[in-house]
């Protein structure tokens, strides 16, 4: 019996055991095991499993215990490596295709705690005011300490219409408990519209339909009555997604040059990707908006446009998730999600743990108007001044804050930057 258990476990674990032994630790020397030592460790694992299933106080769910062991081994490498059970793999694929159930929140493991990468636009988590960087301390009153990431995700998911309580710790203030109603999360990753003379494009994640939807949006904006003088690409709180989608999105704004390189464990394991000729935005000025909730694929796009001098990056420093995960199916409906490489920007900057630094730092702020147009002193306010020739009606003060700009200081700054750039010599021309 022991031999059969050992052989089954050995076949599953051997390929990743070597990877686990190569995890770099700044304070500890990596111990490399011989094949004989690995065999003995696997034998010990099988003995522990056998004792547990026979002597534990309650009957053991053997499959669940083995899957937890595999997940524990992989998650010890980094927060993004994991074992995906059949149910987890199904949920991952549903999410990748743009529709899934839950709260609409991207989370990660941070030193044993559960931390929010970002809420997804228009979801229950977003509407409840959950922000990037928040910590989740309790789910339905139960502490998350000791929960795996997948366990926390499962606790938050459920039948649409049902409720769940989350206790949130934010950077300021005391912890607060909020009740959210679960819903079917439909991810429309691309939203685009004209903001007066500037094309505004919001990408909330990089899914299976992102590239197609973005290309259609750019075509529609370019063919509208008002021709854009430039573009704002908003990737704030974008947690990432497919590497291929990030590459294709960056390619739409470039006419050449490197987009990203991935570098694996071996020194010569470097893969570089380059843009093809054909800038969909016709060389118009671009401002990219990022913040601390911008991660992974969104950082690749921002870094590519920044290093190729194609865009001004504004906002705040990004999240710094610069590692590549590959999904490796095991043939039985389960899979391994394993970190295999790191991302580097065209100039050779590592994104991992460093993030993308904006060219112009703009902290999200509340803007208070402290003067009105009636108070502004000018020639026109002098008694007896000559009337102006242009009799056009004065600009309505409400124009400046329409289309959701009122409370979004970063977006206001980005739109103003594009307008300023479009007035520079050689910029702002739209060639049909």
pLDDT per residue over 404-416, tens digit each? 356 789 999 999 9
Kindly name the residue from 118, 189, 204, 296 that is annotated as catalytic: 296
pLDDT score at 77 = 92
pLDDT score at 428 = 55
Kindly name the residue from 321, 323, 408, 422 that is annotated as catalytic: 321
pLDDT score at 148 = 78
Report the alpha-carbon distance of residue 145 to residue 151 in Å, rounded: 11
Report the alpha-carbon distance of residue 171 to residue 398 in Å, rounded: 33
Query: Which ranges of 163-316 would DSSP assign to H, the alpha helix?
Result: 210-222, 243-252, 297-307
pLDDT grade for 379, boundaries at 50, 70 and 90? low
pLDDT exceeds 50 at position 393: no
| Average pLDDT score over residue span 350-363 | 94
Instruction: Tell me whether residue 296 is one of the annotated catalytic residues.
Output: yes
Beta pairing partners, 328: 336
pLDDT score at 269 = 93
pLDDT score at 272 = 97
| Average pLDDT score over residue span 245-252 | 97
* Residue 399 CB burial class (10 angstroms; 0-12, 13-18, ≥19): exposed
pLDDT score at 159 = 85
Instruction: Tell me whether residue 321 is one of the annotated catalytic residues.
Output: yes
| Average pLDDT score over residue span 36-52 | 96
pLDDT grade for 1, boundaries at 50, 70 and 90? very low
**Above pLDDT 70, what percent of the chain?**
81
| Average pLDDT score over residue span 103-127 | 85
Kindly name the residue from 307, 323, 408, 422 that is annotated as catalytic: 307
3-state secondary structure of 211: helix
pLDDT score at 16 = 37
Are residues 23 and 77 in contact, defined by beta-carbon separation less than 8 angstroms?
A: yes
pLDDT score at 380 = 55
The CB density around residue 233, as the number of other CB atoms within 10 Å, is 27
384 phi and psi, to 5 degrees?
80, 10
pLDDT score at 187 = 74
Are residues 169 and 131 in contact, defined by beta-carbon separation less than 8 angstroms?
A: no
E strand or H helix at 325 = strand 323-329
Query: Which ranges of 22-57 would DSSP assign to H, the alpha helix?
Result: 35-55
The CB density around residue 380, as the number of other CB atoms within 10 Å, is 10
pLDDT score at 405 = 52
Instruction: Give the least confident one: 6-10, 109-113, 339-343, 389-393.
Output: 6-10
| Average pLDDT score over residue span 310-337 | 93
pLDDT exceeds 50 at position 403: no
* Residue 361 CB burial class (10 angstroms; 0-12, 13-18, ≥19): exposed
E strand or H helix at 95 = helix 86-96
Residue-wise pLDDT tens digits, 121-165: 888 998 898 988 899 999 999 998 878 787 888 889 888 999 999
Closest to 337 in 3D by CA, of 208, 187, 150, 151: 150
Instruction: Give the least confident one: 97-101, 116-120, 205-209, 374-378.
Output: 374-378
pLDDT exceeds 80 at position 368: no
């Amino acid at each position: 019996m022991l031999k059969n258990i050992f052989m089954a476990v050995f076949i599953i674990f051997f390929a990743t055991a070597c990877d686990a032994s190569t995890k770099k630790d700044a304070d500890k020397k990596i111990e490399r095991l011989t094949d004989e030592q690995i065999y003995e460790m696997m034998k010990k694992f099988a003995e522990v499993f056998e004792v547990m299933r026979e002597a534990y106080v309650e009957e053991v769910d053997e499959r669940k215990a083995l899957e937890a062991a595999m997940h524990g081994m992989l998650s010890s490498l980094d927060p993004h490596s994991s074992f995906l059970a059949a149910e987890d793999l199904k949920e991952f694929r549903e999410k990748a295709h743009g529709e899934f159930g839950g709260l609409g929140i991207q989370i990660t493991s941070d030193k044993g705690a559960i931390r929010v990468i970002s809420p997804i636009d228009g979801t229950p988590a977003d509407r409840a005011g959950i922000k990037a960087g928040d910590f989740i301390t309790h789910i339905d009153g139960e502490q998350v300490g000791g929960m795996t990431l997948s366990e926390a995700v499962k606790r938050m998911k459920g039948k649409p219409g049902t409720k769940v309580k989350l206790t949130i710790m934010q950077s300021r203030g005391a912890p607060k408990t909020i009740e959210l109603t679960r819903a079917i999360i439909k991810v429309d990753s691309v939203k685009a519209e004209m903001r007066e003379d500037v094309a505004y494009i919001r990408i909330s994640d990089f899914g299976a339909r992102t590239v197609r939807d973005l290309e259609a949006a750019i075509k529609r904006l370019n063919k509208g009555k008002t021709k854009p003088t430039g573009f704002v690409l908003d990737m704030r709180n974008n947690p990432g997604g497919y590497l291929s989608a990030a590459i294709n999105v960056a390619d739409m704004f470039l006419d050449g040059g490197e987009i990203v390189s991935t570098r694996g464990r071996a020194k010569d394991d470097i893969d570089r990707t380059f843009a093809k000729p054909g800038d969909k935005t016709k060389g118009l000025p671009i401002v990219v908006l990022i913040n601390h909730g911008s991660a992974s694929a969104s950082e690749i796009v921002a870094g590519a446009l920044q290093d190729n001098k194609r865009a001004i990056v504004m906002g705040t420093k990004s999240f710094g998730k610069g590692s590549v995960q590959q999904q490796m199916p095991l043939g039985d409906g389960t899979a391994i999600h394993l970190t295999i490489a790191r991302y580097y920007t065209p100039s050779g900057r590592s994104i991992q743990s460093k993030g993308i630094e904006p060219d112009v730092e703009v902290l999200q702020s509340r803007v208070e108007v402290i003067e009105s147009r009636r108070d502004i002193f000018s020639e026109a306010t002098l008694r007896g001044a000559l009337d102006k020739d242009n009799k056009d009606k004065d600009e309505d003060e409400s124009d400046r804050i329409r289309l959701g700009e009122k409370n979004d200081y970063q977006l206001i700054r980005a739109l103003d930057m594009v307008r300023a750039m479009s007035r520079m010599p050689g910029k702002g021309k739209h060639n049909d």
